[in-house]
């Protein structure tokens, strides 16, 4: 059996997206990653700012955004437009031949509108399938795909979709053809024992420790969906998962959290 080619899927989020200098440094580091790579980005704070500037009141439940029709217009404009194109342009400046995508482009990521028994999330999508055939063609043509957090339902409806989940679903789909490393980058050095103390990094996280910390309510609520995605990805073929500051992309000795089964 021939060895699978390595590929790196990186999700960038948190305050790095809003900090021009940090973003610039991250994209320089990302562009230097050897071999095939995919970037997924969020952009929540910019969307919230834009929404507030036009009089919309953003609504969140358990760290997840409620997306009504007006908010969907804002997130599509910010995620698929401004942030995505800015990132693509900066990657081109770093000699990475990037192309920006929503899930609707080339039917790359199809979702179902979330159907929750008690909460109406509005135009929010849960990933249903990834078009790996096209994605593989793009990657093998030397393209660096850059995905924003917008997918579609194949009936003409765009859907706001959690960027951590998109990264996880892309990584799982690609693991059929590639040896996948998934990295979640944000402004912290990893998953922390104490959210206020950046030196309290949990360097290895396994399901037992995760269950214990969740039971003790010792994990920041925003980190729970991310970690759930991580364990799901590892159980479905993703080779390696790291969470931490983007320094870890170019410095193998940088402190970060490695997720293990």
43 in a labelled binding site: yes
44 in a labelled binding site: yes
- List strand residue ranges (DSSP E) for the chain, in order: 5-12, 36-41, 59-61, 64-66, 98-101, 109-113, 125-130, 144-147, 150-152, 158-160, 178-185, 204-205, 240-244, 257-259
Tell me the two tokens of residue 15. 């305050």
- Say if residues 25 and 57 touch (Cβ distance below 8 Å): no
Q: Please, what sign has the CA dihedral across residues 94, 99, 103, 107?
A: negative
Q: Of how many residues is the chain composed?
A: 261
Using CA atoms, how far apart are residues 199 and 159, in angstroms rounded to an integer?
Answer: 37
81 in a labelled binding site: no
162 in a labelled binding site: no
Tell me the two tokens of residue 103. 């899930």
Question: Which residues does the annotation place in the binding site for substrate?
Answer: 43-44, 65, 160
Question: Which residues does the annotation place in the binding site?
Answer: 43-44, 65, 160
């Amino acid at each position: 059996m021939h060895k699978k080619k390595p590929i790196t899927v990186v999700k960038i989020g948190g305050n790095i997206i809003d900090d021009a200098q940090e973003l610039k440094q991250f994209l320089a580091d990302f562009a230097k990653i050897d071999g095939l790579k995919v970037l997924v980005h969020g952009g929540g704070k910019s969307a919230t700012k834009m929404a507030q500037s036009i009089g919309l009141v953003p609504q969140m439940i358990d760290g997840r955004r409620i997306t009504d029709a007006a908010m969907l217009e804002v997130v599509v404009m910010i995620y698929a437009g401004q942030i995505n194109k800015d990132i693509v342009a900066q990657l081109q400046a770093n000699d990475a031949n990037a192309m920006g995508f929503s899930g609707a482009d080339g039917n790359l990521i199809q979702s179902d509108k979330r159907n929750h028994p008690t909460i109406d999330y509005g135009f929010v999508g849960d990933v249903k399938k990834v078009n790996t055939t096209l994605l593989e063609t793009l990657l093998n043509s030397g393209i660096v795909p850059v995905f924003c957090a917008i997918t579609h339902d194949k009936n003409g409806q765009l859907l706001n979709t959690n960027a951590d989940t998109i990264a996880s679903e892309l990584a799982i789909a690609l693991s059929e053809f590639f040896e996948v490393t998934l990295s979640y980058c944000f402004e912290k050095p990893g998953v922390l024992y104490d959210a206020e103390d950046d030196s309290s990094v949990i360097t290895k996280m396994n399901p037992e420790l995760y269950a214990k910390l969740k039971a003790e309510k010792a994990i920041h609520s925003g980190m729970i969906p991310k970690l759930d995605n991580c364990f799901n990805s590892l159980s479905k073929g993703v080779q390696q998962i790291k969470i931490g500051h983007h320094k870890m992309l170019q410095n193998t000795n940088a402190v970060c959290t490695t997720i293990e089964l």
